[in-house]
Structure 1
Amino acid sequence: MEDSVSNIKPESALVELIVRAKLIIWDEAPMIHKHCIEAVDMTFRDIMRVCNEFSMDKPFSGKTVFFCGDFLQILPVVPKGSRQDIVNVAINSTYLWRNCTILRLTKNMRLLSAASSDEASRLKEFSSWVASIGDGVVGGPNDGEVTIDLPSDIVLSNSVVDEVNQLMMSLDQSHGRVYLSSDSISNSDLTSNGLVEIHSVEFLNKLKCSGTPNHELLLKVGTPVMLLRNIDHSNGLCNGTRLVITRLGDYILEGQVLGGHNIGHKVLIPRKYE
């Protein structure tokens, strides 16, 4: 029995699974290029025509395919494509769309698990606000770009983030090192009207804004950090990469990648990257 199973080719097993399948669930369908969906449709028709010659005239050879997803999230990625290019490759642009029946979710399941009526009310208000952004209601009529004011209760100021970072760093009693940024004034500003005096190096060093590290950065071995710029994509060093510091040098930091394809790899980060 084991010998017969081991001799089955993977593609034969997949074909048999497709033939026997009655329901296929395809998640995050709006992210998929329509050509991928059409390729699956033609493959199913080609496979199933052996069992039923009339299956060539049915979408997905008569198989029930359940597409899941939200058009308010990420659409298919078209490198250097325009808005029209992206719309033209979305799932609702394929010839299969006319055979689809749209079912909408109308009940927020998170509200059912709320601990109190006040919490349920806050969750409902927040979910309605998020949905109104996706529907283009917030901000009034617009052409796709609009300024949206975030509610104060969901926004953390940069000072609060600094306090949390300082608290977490204080829990680690090991020795750390303080790294300073290197700010300078562009030469083009020397001819401007007094901008050099206003935007001095001292002024730049005092700036604290979201997405930009502070002038003074305290690091310790074992500190989790996140990159804010792309350095080396092939080694996983890009914006959003999370690492843990393993060594502190004068000009180079050593860190271990915490996620992605390069998880566990040790990488070197120069202190100054041009």
Structure 2
Amino acid sequence: MPFGGLTVLLGGDFRQVLPVVPKEGREGTVAASLSKSYLWQECKVYTLLENMRVERDVSTISVEGKVLNFKDWILNVGNGLQHAYDLDGSGDFSWIKIPEELLVSYSGDPNKAIVDEIYMDLQERHGSIDYLRERAILTPLNENVGKINREVLGRLPGDCTVYRSSDSICKGSCNNAADDILYPPEFLNSLKYSGVPNHELEMKVGVPIMLLRNLNPKKGLCNGTRLIVTRCYRILIEALIITGNKSGEKTYIPGICMSPADKTMPFVLKRKQFPIAVCYAMTINKSQGQTLKNVGLYLPNPAFGHGQIYVAISRVTSPSGLRILCVNEDEKYAGYTKNVVYHEIFNDIVPNNLSEP
């Protein structure tokens, strides 16, 4: 019997980002999802009916002349039911109109514009825990996350403390005696991987950070936990936890050895660095599970994965806290963004199998 006959609760939302399968396209991603597993026929589906994140009695929004409840708009985007257009003539009807009240207009540098919108009073409140806890900028790619974080760091008073990693090749991953010559430290330092901090980390006291690894779940130090830096030591970072059930507690973060899951290189990189990232901005995928009052969705390029737009817009508690900036050089795309939804992922969630909890 599956799971030895034990009752197992599997929680999740098929509207959100699906499993990441390297070097696989849409079919491979859908095939790796729970609803395509042989276990799915043994499952009974229960649905949650009320959005507990969105505040009650929030203002409505206007989409293409129609007044919509904010919760309903979020669900329409997540289910792929929001009216979509084929703006590029490719036959891909995935471009949706963004409500006017959520759009950010800009001239000049879009990075500066979205930072001004979300961190408008940063100079006066950069040390406020509540101010930092309730806001973030979300964007699809790590490259843009780094640019925004550098933009915000440059506005803060004080000097940066720079922490540099110690990079080497895991000796058990290859047997080539010439590896140290083929892959010098300068080359290893230049490598960037998702989920692994970069060679150089710039820190200042008062900066919000996010853990990239589970360090001590009992003490609230889990992957995704957000903290504020309170002191920078040479081999330790002192920080205050600002999310989770250990919020308000002080902790110390050491440097640890990490290796990326990426297998494209002929060796395994071993990087000793603090398992953290500055989180004035974060990727949309990394924001899953977070609740924020102010979210800036920054789209220098359209979202590329299933559910990314839904995840971003569903992090906020009200429409007044959501601002969206799209960088579209072509005028015909102004006010529109791409909403990627794999409709086939919902096929196995049969309506007559749904029950109220």
Higher relative contact order (CA 8 A, sep 6+): 2
Give the alignment's TM-score, normalised by structure 2: 0.37
For the pair shown, the structure with the greater C-alpha radius of gyration is: 1
Give the alignment's TM-score, normalised by structure 1: 0.47
More helix by share: 1
More strand by share: 2
